[in-house]
Amino acid sequence: MTATTTTTSTGLLDARSPGGPIETRWERCKFDLKLVNPANKRKFTVIVVGTGLAGASAAASMAELGYEVEAFCYQDSPRRAHSIAAQGGINAAKNYQNDGDSVYRLFYDTVKGGDFRAREANVYRLAEISTAIIDQCVAQGVPFAREYGGTLANRSFGGAQVSRTFYARGQTGQQLLLGAYQALERQVAAGKVKMFPRTEMLDVVVEDGRARGIVVRDLVTGRVRRHAGHAVVLATGGYGNAFFLSTNAKGCNATAIWRAHRRGAMFANPCYTQIHPTCIPVSGDYQSKLTLMSESLRNDGRIWVPRRKGDTRRPGEIPEAERDYYLEARYPSFGNLVPRDVASRNAKQVCDDGRGVGPGGRGVYLDFADAIARLGRRAIEERYGNLFEMYERITGEDPYSAPMRIYPAVHYTMGGLWVDYHLMSTVPGLFVLGEANFSDHGANRLGASALMQGLADGYFVIPYTIGDYLVDHMGEKLSTDTAAFAAAESEVRQRIERLLGVRGKRTVDAFHRELGHLLWEDCGMARNDAGLRRALERIPALRQEFWEDVNVLGGGDELNQALEKAGRVADFFELGELMCRDALHRSESCGGHFREESQTEEGEAKRDDERFSYVAAWEWAGENRAQVLHQEPLTFEYVHPSQRSYK
Amino acid sequence: MKGVSSLVRTAVGKKALMAVSGLVLFGFVLVHMAGNLKLYQGAEKLNAYGEFLREVGAPVLAHGQALWIFRAVLLLAVGVHLWAAATLTLQSRAARPVGYRVATTVQASYASRTMRWGGVIVLLYVLFHLADLTLGWANPAFQAGKPYENLVASFTNPWVAGLYLVANVTLGFHLFHGLWSLFQSLGWNNPKFNPWRRRFATAFAWIVTLGNVSFPVSVLMGWVQ
Amino acid sequence: MSDHAIHLQLHVWRQSGPRASGRFVTYEARDISPEMSFLEMLDVVNERLTAKGEEPIAFDHDCREGICGTCGFVINGVAHGGQKGSTVCQLHMRHFRDGDELTLEPWRARAFPVVRDLMVDRSAFDRIIQAGGFVSVNTGSAPDGNALLVPKVDADVAMDAAQCIGCGACVAQCPNGAAQLFTAAKISHLAQLPQGQPERYQRAQAMVAQIETEAFGSCTNYGECEAVCPKGISIDFIAMLNRDFLKAAVRVEREARVAGGSG
């Protein structure tokens, strides 16, 4: 089988998506879910991997219900998950501002923003739950921004036409995560959650076709351990770090979901990656990560590049007439506030055109001179002071006196493990929440919707749906002393030994950098057939080289950061290949997936609903064999697919 | 850890006790300094003041009784202050068994960093001071009931005067950080008066120190004989 | 901006495990670009060590944008390296000069045992939160978000305190190894808000008691914590902690007549 042929099947995937009027689907589903008797809940053990917004809120909420929970994170504390870095805010259809928002409008905006590649029922549920999330977080003591009258403040975010975004300065993710973390720690103190920090999940154990536990490595002692549970919940985040350079934390990885994929969980829409337009550009080869600057900067900043190619004058020396405010010119009604994918792609185009600014020519200006002249420096300081400070700290340049330089960077992955309406993967008993699943954002996520989805899944979906699964497994004894556990553990050990045994010449980071560069070039902001085919040849070759020449020093029975990285990068190789395969097969453009072959005359993404109105779910077919494609058809009963236009 | 017992069982509680006992001792040094200003009114006034202290509370209290009550309160305050200081110091030492090779101070004041040794110096000095001017053991020219003469005799010795100077400057630093710190430890905090806490501490530390330092200086300069 | 590469000498604490004894090892960091962050500089040093077959220096880090609180060690006696209001991941090499000699040490505190090299175990902080750093509200039982009005200033002050990233620099820099600023930040955050009132005094007592259990030192109001706090959290919050704790100590607790619910 060559890299480019795909086997396709339809009809295997049952999304368990309820029919009927969309407003009552979740209500009816909840009513139909089987319940676990309160006295019986403590007889079930649920494993939760990952303690970000989705994982921490799920673990806390399930423990509150009475389940015994074991929670795992690779960080030294559950408070550090990368949800913490989300700056902008969280959407909720509260309509506190009386500006015409509603659950239906949030649903509509999300389906449309996702370029009609999400499941309607899921999105509606997300919008419906959004209001309860705000209530819950306020009750936990999350210090949301307030008006002088004491009510919650809102802002419009990411080009939304209504103000539905709740925020806590520029640290909304941090405050929401700390709220969930505190709820989690409360359950740890109550003895309902056993917390395992600095512990990495290295495999899922599937027995009789069901998820029965996990194999983990204690990152401090290197001990490999087995944990059994009646159900396993993965909330391990996205896979943006496959690109090496991204706005993700350094430790973010896809190992949990990838190992689950190899055990039978289908991987959906891996090619849907979101590139955030406002990040600080790369400054050199040593660069280890990219820093995002909140999208809110686009509210007042104007984006431009010089009209002339290779113009090396300083920005202040370039007269107005020789500047190209390309977003304002091309999208008169949305201007600098076009959606993320549009803004990113346009930045790439002008840079490809040789008009990029800064070292390496990969950057565009985000200029506040007009805003400062109009509103005064103080107003700008109040709105963006901390962001400007951060910019200056990193670049050493003062954004008050010269325009910022920004460039798009990988930020979020809409793809992930396929889940049904109950958030269960194709492996019964294996649930997937938050960014780790593929569910609600379609091909493009709207700003301030990631926090909403993570918390919706954790606080308000999984506590209901997991009971429906568990109730059928009442009384099942948990044991880690089974053939499946032994086999999984031995595979984990072998893999560790293999990584330690190579003792080659190149470091893990060197390989990761090369893989990332390759993915960025061929499977980044714009993709084409030739590039993807090239990548599909180069990635396996590089992966082979990795296994022959990687250099991981130290041992397996001690804290070994290089070993941790090596395991993650090995999985990124396989996942990267699948991303390219998915991108190649989807020869339409949609949302964050832009195929150069499929664009309108004006250069906008052009969907092909006839051929691609489905979720692409890939099934692992074994080592060195191309995954099998399954399709979950998407039907739109409420929001009718249309060409997005931001002119 | 509930209730009043938490005051003696936690560091935060001990700090509060330290603050309250410190407040008592601060009241003492202030009154002590103010009383001694009678030095400048001559032997008669100062000695009369000394006698007055023994007569306070009469006729309800007998001669010297009030003074002993004050002394008991002071002794208790000193006891609590020392106990809190000692246990807290030990706790803090134990909290960092391995120190830094390079130790740098970022913003802590000199006064705050010298609290412990400063406290020890002040304590040692107070013992000497008692032996010198209250009990007379260290003062060959000591005459009971004649504080003025005793004081002049003592400060005429430049060594004693020098010791007194050093001790009182140390006390000044101790008072400065102690006073400011007291507000923190007792939770007296409000953005409106926070800036005044430091000003208050500075002013009173200066007043007590200048007052006290003036005595040996005046004796040595011959202004008081 | 300068593009002159600089050359540094690093004295780094190396310790292979929690029970092992450690020592300082000196490394040369050559050709360091001033545009690098401090952690990127260590990445480069580690890449070179690995190439030579020497085990890389272990240090904690994750988000590298100053918010997760994972990174942190002491550079020349100052936690996070001395750039005001920032973690070590946000410290860039342009602040150093060619030929600088830097000593890198882990946070030093009995409550933060060294895990390896520059990494320490800060789980004591989690246990302080477990003692009471939360509002006891189960999922689903919350009233509407606007049901309780919160004066803007209260919300803002709560946010000032809530910004704490739990990095541990306050403990590391405190000459007493005290965890007051961390604990005070959480107590003050919740005490500012109406949602935090029902458990306010019990929370202060429980969290302060946990500080003792974890063997942190005592606060003597040096103010070193505030100076190195990446979020600039003020020691004013420590006064608030003290006040709530003292109030709790002298408050007469009411007790319900009937213990527990029945029926």
Over the stretch C170-196, which tens digit does the pLDDT of each residue have?
A: 999 999 999 999 999 999 999 999 999
Does the beta-carbon distance from C140 to A132 stay under 8 Å?
A: yes
Sequence ranges of the domains in chain C: 6-115, 122-250
Does the beta-carbon distance from B112 to C222 stay under 8 Å?
A: yes
Q: Which residues contact A620 (CB under 8 A, 6 or more apart)?
A: A261, A262, A263, A264, A267, A627
Q: What is the pLDDT of residue B57?
A: 84
Q: What is the ipTM of this complex?
A: 0.96
- Interface check for C58 against chain A (CB to CB < 8 A): the answer is yes
For B18, the closest chain C residue by CA position comes to C220
- Rounded distance, CA B30 to CA B164, Å? 16
- Interface check for C239 against chain A (CB to CB < 8 A): the answer is no
- Rounded distance, CA A185 to CA A195, Å? 9
**Minimal C-alpha gap between B111 and chain C (Å):** 9
C222 to chain B: which residues are within 8 Å by CB?
108, 112-113
Q: Give partners of B (≥3 CB pairs < 8 A).
A: C
Q: CB of A251 within 8 A of CB of C3?
A: no
Architecture of domain C6-115 in CATH?
Roll (3.10)
Does the beta-carbon distance from A76 to C68 stay under 8 Å?
A: no
Pairing mode, strands C6-14 and C101-105: parallel
- Rounded distance, CA A215 to CA A256, Å? 10
- Interface check for B195 against chain C (CB to CB < 8 A): the answer is no
Architecture of domain A483-633 in CATH?
Up-down Bundle (1.20)
- Interface list for C 13-32 with A (CB within 8 A): 16-18
Quick one: pLDDT band at residue A8, thresholds 50, 70, 90?
Answer: low
Token look-up 């009750």 returns A139
The three-state DSSP-derived secondary structure of chain C is CCCCCEEEEEEEEECCCCCCCCEEEEEEEEEECCCCEHHHHHHHHHHHHHHCCCCCCCCCCCCCCCCCCCCCCEECCEEHHHCCCCCHHHCEHHHCCCCCEEEEECCCCCCCCEEECCEECCHHHHHHHHHHCCCCCCCCCCCCCCCCCCCHHHHHHHHHHHCCCCCCHHHHHCCCCCCHHHHHHHHHHHHCCHHHCCCHHHHHHHHHHHHHHCCCCCCCCCCHHHHHCCCCCCCHHHHHHHHHHHHHHHCCCCCCCCCCCCC
- Rounded distance, CA C182 to CA C162, Å? 10
- Rounded distance, CA C116 to CA C16, Å? 5
- Interface list for C 184-213 with A (CB within 8 A): 189-190, 192-193, 195-196
Rounded (5°) CA angle B107-B109-B110: 130
Over the stretch A387-428, which tens digit does the pLDDT of each residue have?
A: 899 899 999 999 999 999 999 999 999 999 999 999 999 999
Over the stretch A265-310, which tens digit does the pLDDT of each residue have?
A: 999 999 999 999 999 999 888 999 999 988 889 989 999 999 999 8
Which amino acid is residue A96, in one-letter code? Y
Lowest mean pLDDT of A337-341, A476-480, A638-642, name the range: A337-341
Over the stretch A175-230, which tens digit does the pLDDT of each residue have?
A: 999 999 999 999 999 999 999 999 999 999 999 999 999 999 999 999 999 999 99
Q: What is the pLDDT of residue A382?
A: 83
Give me the residue from C222, C235, C250 closest to B4, CB to CB. C250
Q: What is the pLDDT of residue A10?
A: 63
Host H or E run for residue B153:
helix B147-156
To probe the interface with A, which of C71, C139, C197 has the most A CB atoms within 10 Å? C139
Distances in Å between the Cα of C146 and the Cα atoms of A101, B188, C150, C198 are: 17, 32, 9, 18
- Rounded distance, CA C162 to CA C193, Å? 11
Q: Which one, of A356, A348, A347, A346, lies nearest residue A308 by Cα?
A: A356
Do you know the residue count of chain A?
647
Does the beta-carbon distance from A186 to C50 stay under 8 Å?
A: no
- Rounded distance, CA B67 to CA A136, Å? 62
Which amino acid is residue A158, in one-letter code? G
3-class DSSP state for residue A414?
coil
Q: Which residues contact A483 (CB under 8 A, 6 or more apart)?
A: none
Which amino acid is residue A41, in one-letter code? K
Beta strands across the sheet bearing A614-619: A7-10, A628-633, A614-619, A267-268, A416-417
Q: What is the pLDDT of residue B1?
A: 52
Q: CB of C63 within 8 A of CB of C165?
A: no
Does the beta-carbon distance from C155 to A143 stay under 8 Å?
A: yes
By 3-state DSSP, what share of chain B in percent is helix, strand and coil, each rounded to 5?
Answer: 75, 0, 25
DSSP 8-state assignment for residue A247: S
- Rounded distance, CA C103 to CA C156, Å? 38
A247 to chain C: which residues are within 8 Å by CB?
65
Average pLDDT over residues C109-131: 98
Sequence ranges of the domains in chain A: 276-411, 483-633
For C64, the closest chain A residue by CA position comes to A249
Position A510 pLDDT exceeds 70: yes
**Minimal C-alpha gap between C186 and chain A (Å):** 10
Distances in Å between the Cα of C259 and the Cα atoms of A191, A588, C4, C253, C256 are: 21, 66, 72, 14, 7
- Interface list for B 164-183 with C (CB within 8 A): 177, 180-181, 183
3-class DSSP state for residue B117?
helix
Cis status of the peptide bond prior to A332, with omega within 30 of 0: no
- Interface list for C 78-107 with A (CB within 8 A): 83, 85-86, 90, 92, 94
Task: Say which CATH class C122-250 falls into.
Answer: mainly alpha
| Residue A165 half-sphere exposure toward CB, CA atoms < 13 A | 25
Q: Give partners of C (≥3 CB pairs < 8 A).
A: A, B
Does the beta-carbon distance from C103 to B102 stay under 8 Å?
A: yes
Name beta bridge partners: A424: A431
Tell me phi and psi for residue B24, to 5 degrees: -60, -45
For B91, the closest chain C residue by CA position comes to C217
Q: What is the pLDDT of residue C1?
A: 42
Alpha helix stretches (DSSP H) within A141-169: none
- Rounded distance, CA C257 to CA A309, Å? 82
Position A71 pLDDT exceeds 70: yes
Q: Do chains B and A touch (3 or more CB pairs under 8 A)?
A: no
Quick one: pLDDT band at residue C262, thresholds 50, 70, 90?
Answer: very low
Position C216 pLDDT exceeds 60: yes
Over the stretch C60-117, which tens digit does the pLDDT of each residue have?
A: 999 999 999 999 999 999 999 999 999 999 999 999 999 999 999 999 999 999 999 9
Quick one: pLDDT band at residue C2, thresholds 50, 70, 90?
Answer: very low
Q: Residue C178 is encoded by which pair of tokens?
A: 């005290």
Full set of structural domains in chain B with CATH: 5-220 (1.20.1300)
Q: CB of A592 within 8 A of CB of A409?
A: no
Give me the residue from A77, A136, A137 closest to C123, CB to CB. A77
Q: What is the pLDDT of residue A624?
A: 86
Position B12 pLDDT exceeds 50: yes
Does the beta-carbon distance from B187 to C240 stay under 8 Å?
A: yes
Rounded (5°) CA angle B216-B218-B223: 145
Quick one: pLDDT band at residue A360, thresholds 50, 70, 90?
Answer: confident
Tell me phi and psi for residue A617, to 5 degrees: -110, 120
Average pLDDT score, chain A: 95
For B191, the closest chain C residue by CA position comes to C236
- Rounded distance, CA A226 to CA A488, Å? 9
**Minimal C-alpha gap between B79 and chain C (Å):** 19
| Residue B100 half-sphere exposure toward CB, CA atoms < 13 A | 26
A287 to chain C: which residues are within 8 Å by CB?
40
Position C127 pLDDT exceeds 60: yes
Position C263 pLDDT exceeds 50: no
What is the distance of C-alpha A582 from the center of its chain? Answer: 17
The CATH code belonging to domain A276-411 is 3.90.700.10
Does the beta-carbon distance from B181 to C244 stay under 8 Å?
A: no
- Rounded distance, CA B223 to CA B150, Å? 16
Please count the other Cβ atoms lying within 10 Å of the Cβ belonging to residue B145. Answer: 10
- Interface check for B94 against chain C (CB to CB < 8 A): the answer is yes
Q: What is the pLDDT of residue A11?
A: 65
**Minimal C-alpha gap between C146 and chain A (Å):** 6
Please count the other Cβ atoms lying within 10 Å of the Cβ belonging to residue A37. Answer: 11
C216 to chain B: which residues are within 8 Å by CB?
95
For B115, the closest chain C residue by CA position comes to C220
Radius of gyration in angstroms for the set of CA atoms belonging to chain B, rounded to a whole number = 20
Position B25 pLDDT exceeds 60: yes
DSSP 8-state assignment for residue A250: T
Position C254 pLDDT exceeds 80: no
Q: What is the pLDDT of residue A2?
A: 42
**Minimal C-alpha gap between C213 and chain B (Å):** 10
Please count the other Cβ atoms lying within 10 Å of the Cβ belonging to residue A237. Answer: 30
C45 to chain A: which residues are within 8 Å by CB?
none
DSSP 8-state assignment for residue A504: -
Quote the percentage of chain A above a pLDDT of 70.
Answer: 98
Rounded (5°) CA angle A148-C146-A293: 65
Work out how many CB contacts closer than 8 A connect B with C: 155
**Minimal C-alpha gap between A499 and chain C (Å):** 15
Over the stretch A81-112, which tens digit does the pLDDT of each residue have?
A: 999 999 889 999 999 999 999 999 999 999 99
Q: Residue A396 is encoded by which pair of tokens?
A: 């050493």
Does the beta-carbon distance from C65 to A195 stay under 8 Å?
A: no
Higher pLDDT, residue C262 or B157 = B157
Q: Residue B186 is encoded by which pair of tokens?
A: 């007792």
- Rounded distance, CA C94 to CA C35, Å? 6
What is the distance of C-alpha A477 from the center of its chain? Answer: 35
